[in-house]
């Protein structure tokens, strides 16, 4: 009995607790025919050919930690190489303020990322798109007395319109450090940090719930899928692209810490039910403290 209990506990840890995803198949549109299943021999980064009245797009979210990249020679080149490797149709970046400044001052610095694409910059965020963008603006995810914003745009992909949100929630680092080093005295700081992130999630979920078009939410949300922070967004009708169509753990953070490997999935792409998910995976670890997340999505075209 004890051995069986130990085995069951191990299975629970390596699946539910560690966030194992086995959703490699394609997920169809709500109320419509499912798209063609991807070719399993094409590899995780390959773009799939899909038949039917749909628009296929690749979305990539990337916290590039530009203030750190600015201190290391060649870091922006590595970021550009990672972006080029995955060739997204839509790229959203967080912690990208320094890259915005460099791009405005010297377009050659990030020319390979921005050339031939529409670009919107706002605060720490950059949105880069092959498709037309309009109505881009900052949204509010403030908490307490602390002002904080996200970016929202409407994208038009060959006649198909959808909304795009990119957000960067408050880091739990300060709360974790307080609980770690101050013991009982730090628990209050940790609880306040959690409440602030949850308040951000509820504000973003409220905006997501009022949408009139299909929606993609992408960014560094600083919480795993099992957290109440992400659950607040999932309750608004969104679903996690990696949990839907990813394979494995999809960890995006941790490789810059002492263990030296990624062990948390805190960067996410979430989609509304009208959007199909063909594939989702995490990118490389060299260019940033965060691996990017890349998702191949399907938008249903309106009949001609």
**Which sign, positive or negative, has the C-alpha torsion 182, 188, 189, 191?**
positive
What mean pLDDT do residues 50-76 have?
86
The enclosing H or E element of 256 equals none
Which stretches of the chain are DSSP H helices? 2-12, 66-69, 75-86, 97-105, 111-114, 173-181, 187-209, 228-234, 241-245
283 pLDDT more than 90: yes
CB 138 within 8 A of CB 167: no
Six-digit token pair at 230? Answer: 């992400």
pLDDT at 19: 63
Predicted confidence (pLDDT) per residue in 84-141, tens digit: 999 999 999 999 999 988 776 666 667 789 989 999 999 999 999 999 999 999 999 9
pTM of the model: 0.84
CB 63 within 8 A of CB 289: yes
Query: How does residue 302 score in pLDDT terms, banded at 50, 70 and 90?
Result: low
Bridge partners (DSSP) of residue 138 are: 151
Higher pLDDT, 95 or 29: 95
Which segment of 51-60, 67-76, 264-273 scores lowest on mean pLDDT?
A: 51-60
pLDDT at 148: 97
Higher pLDDT, 155 or 34: 155
What mean pLDDT do residues 48-72 have?
82
Q: Which residue has the tokens 């880091």?
A: 171
pLDDT at 112: 81
Q: How many CA atoms lie within 13 A of 157 on its CB side?
A: 24
256 pLDDT more than 90: no
Q: How far is CA 121 from the centre of its chain?
A: 17
């Amino acid at each position: 009995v004890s051995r069986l209990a130990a085995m069951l506990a191990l299975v629970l840890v390596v699946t539910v607790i560690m966030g194992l995803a086995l959703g490699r198949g394609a997920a169809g549109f709500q109320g419509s025919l499912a798209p063609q299943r991807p070719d399993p021999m094409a590899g995780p980064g390959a773009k799939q050919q899909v038949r039917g009245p749909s628009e296929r797009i690749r979305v990539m979210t990337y916290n590039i930690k530009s203030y750190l990249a600015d201190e290391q020679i060649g870091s922006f080149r590595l970021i550009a190489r990672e972006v080029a490797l995955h060739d997204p149709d839509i790229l959203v970046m967080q912690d990208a303020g320094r890259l915005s400044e460099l791009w405005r001052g010297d377009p050659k610095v990030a020319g390979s990322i921005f050339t031939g694409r529409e670009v919107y910059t706002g605060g720490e965020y950059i949105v880069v798109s092959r498709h037309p963008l309009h109505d881009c603006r900052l949204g509010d995810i403030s908490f307490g007395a602390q002002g904080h914003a996200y970016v929202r745009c409407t994208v038009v992909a060959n006649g198909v319109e959808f909304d795009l949100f990119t957000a960067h929630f408050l880091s739990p680092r300060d709360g974790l450090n307080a609980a770690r080093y101050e013991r009982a005295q730090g628990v209050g700081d940790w609880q306040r940090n959690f409440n602030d992130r949850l308040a951000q999630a509820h504000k973003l979920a409220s905006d997501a719930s009022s949408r009139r078009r299909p929606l993609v939410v992408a960014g560094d949300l600083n919480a795993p899928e099992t957290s109440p922070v992400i659950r607040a967004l999932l309750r608004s009708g969104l679903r996690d692209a990696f949990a839907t169509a990813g394979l494995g753990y999809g960890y995006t953070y941790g490789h810059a810490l002492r263990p030296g490997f990624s062990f948390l999935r805190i960067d996410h792409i979430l989609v509304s039910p009208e959007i199909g998910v063909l594939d989702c995976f995490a990118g490389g670890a060299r260019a940033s403290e965060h691996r990017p997340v890349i998702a191949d999505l399907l938008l249903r075209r309106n009949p001609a």
